[in-house]
Amino acid sequence: MGGTNGGDGMKVFPVEDGVIIKSWCESPEEGALEQARNLARLPFAFRQVCLMPDVHQGYGMPIGGVLAAGGAVIPDAVGVDIACGVAAMKLPISEIPTDKLKKLMGYIRERIPLGFNRHKEPQDSAYMPVRTCDFTMGSSGVIEDQWDQALCQLGTLGGGNHFIEIQKGSDGYIWIMLHSGSRNLGKQVADYWNKEAVELNERWHSAVPREWQLAFLPLDSLEGEQYLDEMRFCVKFAEGNRRLMMDRIMDGVAELGIAAKSLLRIDVAHNYARMENHFGKNVMVHRKGATSAKMGEVGIIPGSQGTASYIVEGKGNLESFQSCSHGAGRRMGRKAAIRTLDLETEKARLDNQGILHSIRGNQDLDEAAGAYKDISVVMAEQSDLVDILVELHPLAVIKG
């Protein structure tokens, strides 16, 4: 596989005709590494491509990858679940009785649609983003077309790796964590602009091969401005989605007499592109399955179902473009997990820890802990990127 030690556990992979790759993953899978090589060969790639310790192969760009681009934005380097992220809330209690924990799980399932489900009625539009730019809602027409559906998707979890957990922290407090994104709105925006980018790149006879799945939009083009505006709208929508879910959960916490208020809320996105200054240059930083970790910035790194999660503080490591992992990272795909993992073993993993869960059949194995990397290894590999503030262990898990 190659690669040389770059210090602090980071490995360096040179790329012929491209910038270097810096990996905080000791042994990145070949598929992810090949995608990183394509990123490194982009004519606008700046300085290096960074791979976080949870990196694995994605669509076009590896999940757990960070790309800084000069003058361009790549829709598929943001991903289809724009601004997918994690929110965490600390409650002013140190324990939660099992009976109330079960009641809270029931309350959540009743009021937060899971999987492909959505609300039957539009939700409070105050959670929707403000329309700020002249061409918002009129550039592609996607957001305008999806507006009514988006109002019904506010406060919904989604499926796949989305989850809600009640956790006990090493700080002695009970925490609630959830993972969700921009729902179908983000996917529709992403699909539209990736298709537009592919068509434009072919018209321009772009030097970026189509099979790389990295079609781009110039920042100084109308299309680039419009994509970024709609992407930012989806970022705000995803934040509103998570905030509404947390508000609903807090209503349940109060109604059940568990706590009257929360002590702290944190919200972190991990699929987006943002203009930042690195090494003296303004560049469009794409984080796909990666989290911002500026000096002193508080973040969230969730583990897999039944393992620890972490509240962290960034160290501002310049070599990673001030980034860290967004989770544990998959070690096998969903279909492979369903095919190879043992249902009883994965249920026992949670049962033996006393974790309340809803794993019932093989279809739930796609997000089992066995499908993911060891979160303790992932955290050790990025010790130069973040400090751990609180270690969280699950008491109850609700899968999307």
Q: Can you give the residue ranges of every domain in the chain?
A: 4-331+372-399
Parallel, antiparallel or unpaired: strands 45-56 and 20-23: parallel
Among 162, 179, 326, 357, the one annotated catalytic: 326
113: which 2 tokens? 């649609």
44: which 2 tokens? 């606008």
Helices assigned H by DSSP within 41-111: 98-111
Helices assigned H by DSSP within the chain: 30-40, 98-111, 142-153, 183-203, 222-255, 334-340, 343-351, 375-381
Other CB atoms within 10 A of residue 30 CB: 10
Q: For each of the chain's 400 residues, which pLDDT tens digit applies? A: 567 776 677 999 999 999 999 999 999 999 999 999 999 999 999 999 999 999 999 999 999 999 999 999 999 999 999 999 999 999 999 999 999 999 999 999 999 999 999 999 999 999 999 865 544 445 688 998 999 999 999 999 999 889 999 999 999 999 999 999 999 999 999 999 999 999 999 999 999 999 999 999 999 999 999 999 999 999 999 999 999 999 999 999 999 999 999 999 999 999 999 999 999 999 999 999 999 999 999 999 999 877 999 999 999 999 999 999 999 877 767 777 778 877 777 777 777 777 787 666 676 677 666 777 889 999 999 999 999 999 999 999 998 8
Q: Which residue has the tokens 């790759």?
A: 21
205 Cβ neighbours under 8 A, 6+ residues apart: none
Other CB atoms within 10 A of residue 95 CB: 11
Q: What local confidence, expressed as pLDDT, does residue 135 receive?
A: 45
Whether 317 and 53 have beta carbons less than 8 Å apart is answered as no
Handedness of CA 328, 330, 334, 335 (dihedral sign): negative
222 Cβ neighbours under 8 A, 6+ residues apart: none
Kindly report the CA angle at 112 between 342 and 118, in degrees rounded to 5?
95
Nearest CA-CA partner of 317 in 331, 333, 296:
296
Q: Which residue has the tokens 């499908």?
A: 371
Kindly report the CA angle at 280 between 225 and 325, in degrees rounded to 5?
75
Q: Is 270 a catalytic residue?
A: no
Parallel, antiparallel or unpaired: strands 298-301 and 264-269: unpaired
Other CB atoms within 10 A of residue 262 CB: 18
- Rounded CA-CA distance 234/228 in Å is 10
Q: What local confidence, expressed as pLDDT, does residue 136 receive?
A: 46
47: which 2 tokens? 């300085």
pTM of the full predicted structure? 0.93
Homologous superfamily (CATH) for 4-331+372-399: tRNA-splicing ligase RtcB (3.90.1860.10)
